[in-house]
Each structure stands twice: as structure tokens, then as C-alpha cells.
Amino acid sequence: MSTQASAVQTPTSFKPRIFSGIQPSGGLTLGNYLGALKRFVEKQDEGIETIYCMVDMHAITVWQDPEKLRHQTREGAAAFIAAGIDPKRSILFNQSQVSAHAELGWIFSCIARMGWMSRMTQWKDKTAGKNAEAASLGLFAYPALMAADILTYHATMVPVGEDQKQHLELTRDIAIKFNNDYGLDFFPVVEPLIEGAATRVMSLRDGTKKMSKSDPSDQSRINLTDDADTIATKIRKAKTDPLPLPDSVEALRDRPEARNLVNIYAALAEHSVEQVVRDFAGAQFGTFKPALADLAVAKLSPITTEMNRLMADPAEIDRILGDGADRAEAIARPILDRTKDIVGMIRSPKG
Ligand code: TYM
């Protein structure tokens, strides 16, 4: 082992630190809010060190209009702040400002195996029925960059929605393989935090499909930029079945649309799904949907209003992102430097 590598400290336990990210590849949805943002705020308020990122480098794995990408990155940051992220207590920045992500991403592309990547269901879904040969190399390598996002901070916990579970398993595999290959306990094996009633919010048009910012139908999702009337109309028109709401959670199992609306209600109200089922047992959707619409408007409208206020001053958002990037860089750089030492790369003696 080289002199530099043997001087590397090998942490055996890691300080609790949270990292998570959201792609600015479209406007944020209720799914992003309930599965991610709302929980990011809870983690910050629990007093854990929290680092949150608009992952613009992930977004360009598929073509993005440059002006829209810039707008969506700022709008995403505004959504974080409007939802309760305090940029003084949490670090909030955009990925491309901290080059450690790209540098460690390359090292991890050399650790991860082609077979691991080709088994990623998101890769398979995104290329299904299309010409996979025409997909970008970045889209294929995407999970290695995601592992770098997390591990360049030695983050130990990652709050995400259900759809990111497999990517986090891959992050664990990359950390374990790196540690084994170099015989060091250097990268933490991260813990996915997939918790609550809304880890998988489904489309309002099809209860078997995830609510997504990239769904061609705007009716399928609630956007964090939707006004009160739009939210109420989308909920009123949401697909349901003809039965009244049941009196047990179990009875929702084969009713994906009903289950989805009940889960959304529970997550917004911060009630258990059991309690919501108890409160609305026997109710028709004609009663339940207006109650859900009122609740959604009450919870989301203040966020939308605050987002609009923040978006009126894009320079201030850029300042917040720049400040967050400086603080992120200060954590990431020494970890990246140590990684380079371990791998056997010579660094400038000037530091
Ligand atoms: P993205 O941008 O697709 O989604 C951001 C977060 O929102 C969650 N989410 C949902 N949760 C519940 N129901 C839904 N319908 C729903 N849709 C999205 C996602 O699970 C995610 O937590 N690869 C990531 C971004 C990423 C990242 C990271 C995440 C890049 N690097 C490092 C964590 C750590 C993604 O595409 O998320």
C-alpha cells in the first residue's frame, strides 16, 4: 500500500448524516412532496445533519431545455425552502456546483459492474420498448453518480420514496465492493429511509402507475405549482371505483385508486392509514374527495404561495444555492481526496 493510502484514516463508525436529492427534470409533484420533501423537513427538524441537493447532472441524462433546467432547478430549491427547509440549518445546493460528485462518480463507474447497472428496473423501464442503444451512457451509469452523491459526504441515511430502493441497494453494493477491493472500512453502508403512508404516491388516473413529473398527462399528478382550483378539480376527477370506503385497511388491498387517495389523505393529515379508514368507513367518494381536496389545498397552498414569492427573486435563490455549494464542497473535498489516495492517484503536494 502506498504511503499516502496507509496514512488514510479508516473510520469504523460514521456520524449520522442525511443526504438526499431531487431531479429538476420537471416541476415537483405531490409524490415528491410526500415521499421526499416533507420527510426531508422532518429529518432536519429532528436535528440530524441534513444535506439536500437539486441533482441537475442527473437531470441531463435525458435532454433538458437549458432555460427550463435552470428554471426548474431554482423552482425546486424554492419548493424545498417553502416546504420548510432552512438553508442555514440544512445544506441546500445544486449538484453541478460541487465537482466531487462527478469525480467520485467516475471512480464508482469503475467499481460498479455492467451487470449491476443493466439489472436496474428504472433503466429497464426507461428503455423498455425503445432503442436502448440510443439511450445516453449517462442514463446507464446514473446509479454510480447517485452513489457518489451520497458517499462523497459519508452520508449514513437517505430518505427517499419506494422507487429509489434498488438504487440505494446498489449504493450499498458499491460501498461494500470499494471497501473490499481496497481492504478498508472507508465508505459507510447507507441505510435507506423509506417511511410513512406515502412512499409510493400513484397516478390520479391509474392507481397502478407511479405519480410522476414526466407523465404526459397533467391530470395524473398534483404539481406543487397548481392553484387551489386545479388541485380540487384534479382530485374530484381522480379515478376511483364505485364502492364506498371500507372499514379495514386490508379491504383496500385490491382497490389501488381508493388505497392511493386514502394514503395521500393519511400522509397530508399526518394520521395513520388505519385512522383514516376508521374516520371514513362507509363514506362515498362524493364525501371523501371534497374532504381530501380541502386538506390538500390547506397543506399545499401555503407552499405554492411561498414558492411564488421566492421565485420573484431568482438572484437570492442562486445565492442560497451557491452558499450551500461552498459548505457542501468543504465536506466533500477531503473525502474525495482520501478516496484518491486510497485508489493510488497522486495529488498535488500543494494540497
Ligand atoms: P426523483 O427526482 O425522481 O424523485 C425525488 C424524490 O421523490 C420521490 N418520489 C416519490 N415518492 C413517493 N411517490 C411518488 N410518486 C414519488 N415520485 C418521486 C423519490 O423516491 C425521491 O426520493 N435518483 C433520484 C435522485 C437522486 C438521489 C440521489 C436521491 C440522485 N442522487 C442521492 C437520493 C440520494 C431521483 O430520480 O429522484
Quote the strand ranges of 172-265, DSSP E. Answer: 191-193
- Indicate whether 35 and 106 sit together in one domain: yes
What integer pLDDT is reported at residue 318 of this predicted model? 98
- Residues ≥6 apart with Cβ < 8 Å to 4: 341, 346, 347
- Indicate whether 263 and 328 sit together in one domain: no
- Indicate whether 33 and 132 sit together in one domain: yes
- Indicate whether 226 and 322 sit together in one domain: no
- Number of domains, the chain: 2
What integer pLDDT is reported at residue 79 of this predicted model? 98
- Evaluate whether residue 211 is within a structural domain: no
Q: What is the pTM of this model?
A: 0.95
Residue 282 pLDDT exceeds 50: yes
> By C-alpha distance, which of 194, 266, 191 is closest to 14?
191
CATH assignment of the domain containing 302: 1.10.240.10
- Residues ≥6 apart with Cβ < 8 Å to 60: 69, 138
> By C-alpha distance, which of 336, 325, 328 is closest to 103?
336
- Evaluate whether residue 206 is within a structural domain: no
> By C-alpha distance, which of 240, 238, 239, 258 is closest to 250?
258
Q: Tens digit of pLDDT for each residue in 136-155? A: 999 999 999 999 999 999 99
The CB-side HSE value for 112 (13 A sphere, CA atoms) comes to 28
The CB-side HSE value for 145 (13 A sphere, CA atoms) comes to 22
Instruction: Verify whether residue 126 is a known catalytic residue.
Output: yes
Q: Whose CA is nearest to atom 5 of ligand 1?
A: 22
Containing 35, the helix (H) or strand (E) segment is none
Q: Tens digit of pLDDT for each residue in 75-112? A: 999 999 999 999 999 999 999 999 999 999 999 999 99
- Indicate whether 31 and 128 sit together in one domain: yes
What integer pLDDT is reported at residue 3 of this predicted model? 42
CB atoms within 10 A of CB 112: 19
Ligand 1 pocket residue status of 164, Cβ below 6 Å: yes
Asked whether the beta carbons of 54 and 95 are under 8 A apart, the reply is yes
- Evaluate whether residue 248 is within a structural domain: yes
Catalytic residue among 15, 43, 209, 210: 210
User: Rounded distance, CA 312 to CA 191, Å?
Assistant: 37
- Evaluate whether residue 12 is within a structural domain: yes
Residue type, 309: R
Residue type, 169: E
The stretch 232-253 carries a mean pLDDT of 97
User: Rounded distance, CA 14 to CA 19, Å?
Assistant: 14
- Evaluate whether residue 336 is within a structural domain: yes
388516473: which residue's cell?
A: 205
- Indicate whether 102 and 179 sit together in one domain: yes
Pocket test for ligand 1, best of 33, 42, 55 (most atoms within 8 A of CB): 55
When the pLDDT of each residue in the chain is averaged and rounded to a whole number, the result is 95
Residue 244 pLDDT exceeds 90: yes
Domain encompassing residue 287: 218-309
Residue 5 pLDDT exceeds 50: no
